[in-house]
């Protein structure tokens, strides 16, 4: 009779020992499950924080300068946001507004006028005093108009370069405006002493 009670206990005992956490193998299984659960619950490491607007603008500017040094105007086209405004004009209300937009299909027709010999020669040499951040609260209609196409809360920047006209006493100038559109910094417009179109 005693054997009848002991035999089921002896049969069940190996199963009970195997499944307890005190047993080495059961402990390992339990630890493996804990590690797997911890890995599954551990949030992914945060990615490196993204560049701020000024850093993104400066990165784009360096690419632009490198392309202009190589006279690679086809690559420069990818840095523009279209429609790209090629001039500014004073409206009847006395405000300057961006005008003469071109689209991607027109870029080839105007690229050498936008990035003329002076721009190719001078823009790669631009220094800190040629760069400016456009005030978010500017009352200048030209910048307000361009701001409407940029991402909300992002900053805009300008490269403005003035230089002597060759063979005369007159000054010449050009400017390029940069802003973030759909998460990427692009060139939004240009204006210069002489119109592109």
The pLDDT tens digits for 129-164 are 999 999 999 999 999 999 999 999 999 999 999 998
Are residues 108 and 169 part of one domain? yes
pLDDT, position 3: 47
Q: What is the pTM of this model?
A: 0.73
Are residues 92 and 27 part of one domain? no
Q: Which long-range contacts (CB under 8 A, 24 or more apart) does 109-117 make?
A: 110/86, 110/196, 110/197, 111/73, 111/76, 111/77, 112/73, 113/86, 113/196, 113/197, 114/86, 114/190, 114/196, 115/68, 115/73, 115/76
Separation CA 123–CA 121 (nearest Å): 6
Are residues 18 and 81 part of one domain? no
pLDDT, position 49: 64
Strand partners, 164: 171
48 found inside a domain: no
Tell me which residues of the chain have a pLDDT lower than 70. 1-49
pLDDT, position 115: 97
- Pair 179, 185: CB distance under 8 Å: yes
Domain that holds residue 13: 2-41
């Amino acid at each position: 009779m005693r054997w009848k009670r002991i035999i089921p206990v002896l049969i069940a005992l190996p199963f009970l020992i195997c499944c307890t956490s005190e047993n080495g193998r059961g402990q390992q299984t339990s630890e493996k499950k804990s590690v797997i659960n911890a890995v599954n619950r551990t949030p992914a490491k945060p990615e490196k924080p993204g560049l701020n607007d000024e850093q993104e603008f400066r990165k784009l500017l360096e690419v632009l300068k490198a392309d202009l040094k190589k006279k690679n105007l086809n690559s420069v086209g990818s840095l523009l946001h279209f429609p790209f405004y090629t001039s500014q004009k004073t409206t009847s209300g006395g405000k300057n507004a961006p005008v003469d937009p071109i689209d991607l299909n027109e870029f080839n027709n105007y690229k050498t006028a936008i990035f003329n010999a002076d721009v190719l020669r001078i823009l790669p040499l631009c220094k800190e005093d040629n760069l400016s951040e456009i005030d978010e609260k500017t009352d200048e209609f030209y910048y307000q108009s361009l701001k409407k196409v940029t991402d909300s809360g992002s900053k805009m920047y300008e490269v403005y370069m003035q230089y002597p006209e060759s063979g005369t006493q007159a000054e010449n100038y050009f400017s390029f405006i940069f802003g973030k559109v759909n998460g990427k910094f692009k060139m939004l417009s240009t204006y210069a002493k002489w119109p592109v179109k």
